[in-house]
Structure 1
């Protein structure tokens, strides 16, 4: 072996040793099973490799998630994740829970009220209510009420303030600010946007509310539930509450406030600057007794207002009480339906003040109703006296009226002319008995709208009625009678019987004869069906009113002498026998003669 060969062998050996030292393959893992409690220790190199792979996988996953959030939420991607924390605004009237997911109201409880079933009155919660605030970002509608916000609390005197903030890239931000003062049902709400302005951009606000069943009578609740609104032009209106099916209305003009109005409670949203447009809808399913109606409010809010600090709103969650509503915002008290004029004016300026006066020192509402009847009957007693006196005069004239009918037979026109002459001679007007009754009718109809809407009567008992704001039931039927119901209301029965007795009593001094005498008995029967499901307070009022009317007529009867009435009418007949007829009477007689002549003309044959 020469020196060159030896040198080559040494170099090959060194290469093999280096290869096996640096590049030798790792031994395969053994198939031997270790006991579960065996401790396996990994070397530093192995630990580093695993940690590196995990970090790499997490980074890759975070990158995909961030990309997904970026595509879904755009500039708002920073609010896609977070934790949901609940904060509460509370005073002695109301408790409002706020969620950091969405920066929205999640539940409202009215602390001074409960349901008919004696449970806490939850006006809305996350199961029945949903708020959406949609922002259009390059064609994508992003629901800002799905994002997570950072909460903070503060106070301004005796007012608690909760702020939900979301800071975005580039100095952009968004805030929901809520505040609640003491003794208030009104939650102030401020929405702020910074750096998110769009040319002619708008936010779309959607409020979807499945109104919970709170009362005993679901049917009456549905016919008193609707959405009302007040336009920037100062016009109040609303959807029909009594119509069945779906009610929809679109408003293409500024709207000041919108209220989801129930029979006894109101949830409202009020804008300081007006909403641009609004779409309102109510609907319900007859068979679904878990909710009264579904109410959906869709409005648009100019983003420019939110950027300039004009995004000021307020929620009202509270009773449908006239005294509270009138201090909230202009015409908000119109959510309490008091009927059409003049019933509305009577309720607002007479009945409500009287009711408030009596309830300020009397706690029993049944007694209050009795006193109201007595006072109203006392004020109307002059009209009642005139009405009864007119009926007495017609009773005295009845023999002469009957003679006129027999004399002229089927000639109704001639009979009417003779009757008018007789009325003129004796100084009697056939309308004098109707006018006093007509003047009393608005008060009776005013009660028809006042008692079903009076929240003061809610939950108040009297005699056998457990709740004067709903029907009193002494017996539940095993079936339902059409237009009547499945229960028997005792107050309605008493009212019906007293009305029939009152009708019979009036006919003893009335000149009405023939079929009209029988027709007057149908009205009490109709009211038996109509009022059976109405509040007990209403039928009790009508029942007491009938009793007082009986007593009133008994007193009036002592001051009405039919013999004296006959003497006065005979004197009037002598005095007016040669009296010149007035122009009005002459025109009336001429009109009646013309009508008679027209009827007597022979009909032309075709």
Structure 2
């Protein structure tokens, strides 16, 4: 190995060691963030909440029929239910959810230079609020005025809030109560009246994103947590709204329905599986909704629902059953590697519990994968070393055949066959790593455990490196790997592999998640070290054979 390359290898190995030791010995302190009480969608300070009308303790709750006549121009009343995990604000306009702010430093987003809590309510202009009711058909869900009709706030305490009013021909009573589990609110819905015959009401869960915001993609460096996609679980299938048609009906009895919001999910789970699930577009661009249509018998309806609105933590989702963990969408291509993605997450979580940093956990994951693939990669690198040993013979063939590439390639292949060397053996390590790369990419894009997790100068491993240090270091390590690897017989191909490929990989990784770039960098450094050991052993064996 040339002195320059040896120095680069030593410097890369020392740098990786320093990163690990520094992060373990001196974990970054939690910086106190001054969260501004604003919603994540509007980016403006929230209007002070109007205190709800006081209800005397122990006073009887009005019946739905008594509270049905609420003036159309009745002022809005707000009520708040709060836990250590979230702050939910309910509005008397529709008796629905107006705001749902997640608590904690982790569940924030950067907006105009300030850290603001993530709000899982995403209401578009003129759209109904989540958990409002409609009596219209599927085509009129977004425009039904009954969904915005004022209701009366009849009671409110630390754990519950009750609204009563009229929704179309029905008298409705809604009781929202804090659930027993994290990020859970229970809804008890009572519907009576109507024309006396069977009918139906639809529980709406709309969402909206700014259609002018940048679209998330493979090279976006991580998408914003305010992406919204209606999703429904019906039977044993999880269906997502494609948006091509204004209305989509999902066949089968729904187990849950709501919104997929990237690292978060908001879904409504009916206590008794009944009714239908419907997807619909909103009033304007960027609006869409999931809706549960529930039949109302002639005698009225008494139904219960559980609302889960929170992070896509696998353990939390699985605790509900009903395939709720399928709300985690790994993407069209990376869904093929969803099984591996969950294994990688499990391994990284185990490491994170020990080292208390997800960046170091990714580096330790790289060591584990490298160890598991060692027998195959060792054999492949031995083949590469054999190819490199034959390089002087290949140079002689180049001088002999000149520009006749056909004869040169044939002669080189005969040389490799004579010495029983596979020139493509060096591609095996890359092919073996590709499923791991795709699975790790899927993990970083979907696992809230890694969302906003820092590592040294990187404040979020799911986003790109803001200073491009990791991509550049990864590119340099790729160049060293190509430099010590056997070069193709064709000079043009050799230059492309030596210079173009590292530059190309660096350009690709510029906007990908920093966690993935970190994994590839550490893997490259380990591969370089492994290749050097093999080459030194082979060099020591050659004189003995001679």
- TM-score relative to the length of structure 1: 0.64
Q: Identify the structure with the greater helix proportion.
A: 1
For the residues of structure 2 that align with 1:168 and 1:400, how far apart are their CA atoms? Answer: 87
1:389 to partner: Cα distance: 0.8
How many angstroms does 1:410 deviate by? Answer: 6.4
User: Which residue number corresponds to residue 256 of structure 2?
Assistant: 257
1:350-407 CA distance string (max 9 Å, x none): x111111111122233332332222322222222211111112233455667788968
List runs of 5+ in structure 2 lacking aligned partners.
Answer: 1-64
1:198–1:355 Cα change, 3 Å:
farther
CA deviations 1:427-460 (Å, max 9, x no partner) are 4445544344322221122222222434334333
**How far apart are residue 95 of structure 1 and its match?**
1.5
Match of 1:124 in 2: 121
Q: Secondary structure at the match of 1:130?
A: coil
Residue aligning to 2:377: 384
Residues 431, 309 of structure 1: alpha-carbon distance in 2 compared, 3 angstrom cutoff: farther
Deviation at 1:318, TM superposition (A): 0.8
Q: Which residue of 2 aligns with 1:499?
A: 478
Picking from 449, 469, 473, the partner of 1:456 is 449
Q: Distance in 2 between matches of 1:415 and 1:546?
A: 29
Superposed displacement of residue 264, structure 1? 2.4
SS at structure 1 position matched to 2:453 = coil
Residues of 2 paired with 1:311 and 1:335: CA distance?
A: 24
Deviation sequence 1:449-485 (CA, Å, 0-9, x none)? 22243433433333322333323334xxxxxxxxxxx
CA distance in 2, matches of 1:101, 1:450: 39
**1:304-383 equivalence runs, <5 A:** 304=296, 309=301, 311-338=303-330, 340=334, 342-349=336-343, 351-383=344-376
Measure, in 2, the Cα distance between the counterparts of 1:150 and 1:224.
30
Question: Aligned with 1:326: secondary structure?
Answer: helix
Distance 1:323 1:449 in 2: 18
State the partner residue of 1:8. Answer: none
The verdict on how the C-alpha distance between 1:514 and 1:275 changes in structure 2, with shifts beyond 3 A counting, is: farther
Query: Could you tell me which residue of structure 1 aligns to residue 85 of structure 2?
Result: 93
The answer for the alignment partner of 1:549 in structure 2 is 527
1:559 paired residue among 524, 530, 537: 537
Find the structure with the greater CA-based Rg: 1
Aligned to 1:146: 149
d(CA) in 1 for partners of 2:408, 2:422? 18
Number of aligned positions between the proteins: 458
> CA 1:434 to 1:119, structure 2 compared with 1: closer, same or farther past 3 Å?
closer
Q: Cα offset for 1:529?
A: 3.0
Residues 476-501 of structure 1 show CA distances to partners (whole Å, capped at 9, x for unaligned) of xxxxxxxxxxxxx2222222222222
In 2 relative to 1, CA 181–75 (structure 1 residues): closer, same or farther, beyond 3 Å?
A: closer
Could you list the runs of 5+ residues in structure 1 that have no partner in the other structure? 1-73, 286-293, 475-488, 569-606
Aligned Cα root-mean-square deviation (Å): 4.4
Contact 1:229 1:259 in 2 (8 A): yes
Change (3 A) 1:517 1:238: farther
Distance 2:82 2:495 in 1: 61
Alignment match, 2:56: none
Equivalent of 2:501 in 514, 520, 523: 523
Q: Which has the higher contact order (CA 8 A, sep 6+)?
A: 2
Matched with 1:513 is: 490
The equivalent residue for 1:290 is none
Aligned position for 2:207: 209
Would the aligned equivalents of 1:98 and 1:104 in 2 still touch at CA under 8 Å? Answer: yes
Q: Deviations over 1:247-305 (max 9, x none)?
A: 866235234333422332222233442552412448998xxxxxxxx341153513236
Does 1:438 find its partner at 2:431? Answer: yes
Judging changes above 3 Å, is the alpha-carbon distance between structure 1 residues 295 and 529 closer, same or farther for their aligned structure 2 residues?
Answer: farther
Aligned to 2:164: 165
**How far off its partner does 1:188 sit?**
2.0
Residues 107, 126 of structure 1: 8 Å contact kept = no
Match of 1:276 in 2: 276
